[in-house]
Amino acid sequence: MAIKVIRPRELGQPLGLYSHGMEANGLVVVAGQVGVRPDGDVAGGDAASQTRQALANVAAVLEAAGCSMRDVIRLQTFLTSADDIAAFMQARQEVFPRYFPDGAYPPNTLLVVARLVRPELRVEIEAMAMKPARVARAAPRQVRPARRAPRRRR
């Protein structure tokens, strides 16, 4: 089994000693992504802004792994306040049609926790995805010269 570290160029360094994602046997695991922009600044002080940015960060990790949001089989979300649930849901309603145009949304577990790694962070989202199977192209068939029937002797 080969395990591959995923290092998206669009994202800054992780906020700790971890990788943004890993892939093993087609399963892509995305570490919890927060509402921090690639420049290191928090996307906003509200849960909606941070939700949109966290989802964009998840999408960036998936893209670096050769996946898209459509390949997600599970999301897990952490909020620091139950008061942010409505803003979180509103942000999802805004961006999910773009990420999941067929309306097939992945399962999501929503947890309210005491805090995240930095006190100004309100939302963290992690994901699991299945890497799409590559369709192998058939090698072009080589055309062999037609075999000539043996000549009959008369």
Domain span including residue 46: 3-130
139 part of a folded domain: no
Q: Nearest 5°: phi and psi at 88?
A: -60, -50
Residue 11 has a pLDDT of 85
67 part of a folded domain: yes
Q: How many domains does the chain have?
A: 1
102 part of a folded domain: yes
Distances (CA, A) of 38 to 8, 11, 20, 83, 113: 10, 5, 13, 27, 25
Q: Summarize pLDDT for 53-102 with one digit per residue, the tens.
A: 999 999 999 999 999 999 999 999 999 999 999 999 999 999 999 999 99
Helix (H, G, I), strand (E, B) or coil at 5: strand
56 part of a folded domain: yes
The CATH number for 84's domain is 3.30.1330.40
Q: Summarize pLDDT for 119-151 with one digit per residue, the tens.
A: 999 999 999 999 988 755 555 555 555 666 666
